[in-house]
Amino acid sequence: MIIAVDGPAASGKGTIAKALARHYHLPHLDTGLLYRAVAATVMRLELDPTSEADAVAACDFDELTLADPVLRDDETGQVASIVSAHPLVRAALMQRQKRFAHQDGGAVLDGRDIGTVIAPDAQAKLFVRATPTIRAQRRHTELKSRGSDVSYDQVLADIRARDERDSSRSTAPLVPAADAVLLDTSFLSIEAAVAKAVALVEVRREA
């Protein structure tokens, strides 16, 4: 069984995807980490994230990069949103994601184009969302816990800018798959959101 979990930044999709993977005993891939690894490589090599050629050159990153804590930094996320808009970057990372999704037994993947591009044949597709202000609150709390002094207003502005870039890019924009089930986590606890996600997947499994 392939489970696709898509949604914008700080919507809760990663937490939900990990929980679904544990529940169904499936391997999990946070595809956003791949783009963050490209972003981190661009930053480390002092390349230009707006240059498609520079971003593609950074796609040949060492696998150990995926474990680097810098991938979770907000700056890396901002650069990841820029490099992910390049069609050739998405093409370079696409086959790796497709192989993971279609391994024997299935998998859970979360990202922004899993249900539309990477695994349009997924048995269950969730599109996780929350209001920008609530997502900014979540991200701000997370960043503060790591010692960041970034303001809430800046985080909210960054969230809105990323939403605009992700939704308006020409290649694999952030949109729900036609057959995806919407899950709004704005006013749900983590436990409630996970329980609802499992229930939604079960409905798709039985269909």
**CA-CA distance, 161 to 204, in Å (whole number)?**
33
Residue 207 has pLDDT above 80, yes or no: no
Count CA atoms within 13 Å of residue 79 on its CB side. 27
| Residue 207 forms part of a structural domain | no
| Residue 80 forms part of a structural domain | yes
| Residue 205 forms part of a structural domain | no
Q: Per the annotation, does 13 bind a ligand?
A: yes
**CA-CA distance, 15 to 110, in Å (whole number)?**
9
**CA-CA distance, 142 to 21, in Å (whole number)?**
23
Q: At what angle do helices 32-44 and 87-101 cross, to 10 degrees?
A: 140
Q: Per the annotation, does 14 bind a ligand?
A: yes
CATH code of residue 163: 3.40.50.300
Task: Find, among 85, 164, 112, 109, the residue nearest to 8 by Cα.
Answer: 112
| Residue 127 forms part of a structural domain | yes
| Residue 144 forms part of a structural domain | yes
Q: 187 φ, ψ to 5°?
A: -120, 25
**What confidence category does residue 63 fall into, taking pLDDT thresholds of 50, 70 and 90?**
confident
What is the mean predicted confidence (pLDDT) over 197-203?
97
Q: Which domain holds residue 66?
A: 2-198
Count CA atoms within 13 Å of residue 194 on its CB side. 14
Q: Per the annotation, does 11 bind a ligand?
A: yes
pLDDT digits (tens, 9 = 90+) for 105-120: 999 999 999 999 999 9
User: How many domains does the chain contain in total?
Assistant: 1
**What confidence category does residue 181 fall into, taking pLDDT thresholds of 50, 70 and 90?**
very high
| Residue 166 forms part of a structural domain | yes
So what's the pLDDT on residue 2?
98
pLDDT digits (tens, 9 = 90+) for 116-174: 999 999 999 999 999 999 999 999 998 899 888 999 999 999 999 989 988 888 888 89
Residue 74 has pLDDT above 90, yes or no: no
Name every residue whose Cβ is closer than 8 Å to that of residue 6 and which is 6 or more positions away in sequence: 13, 110, 111, 112, 113, 114, 115, 116, 125, 126, 127, 128, 174, 176, 177, 180
pLDDT digits (tens, 9 = 90+) for 23-60: 999 999 999 999 999 999 999 999 999 999 999 999 99
Beta bridge partners of residue 124, listed in sequence order? 3
Q: Per the annotation, does 7 bind a ligand?
A: yes
| Residue 57 forms part of a structural domain | yes
| Residue 191 forms part of a structural domain | yes
Q: Per the annotation, does 32 bind a ligand?
A: no
So what's the pLDDT on residue 97?
96
Task: Find, among 158, 153, 84, the residue nearest to 118 by Cα.
Answer: 84
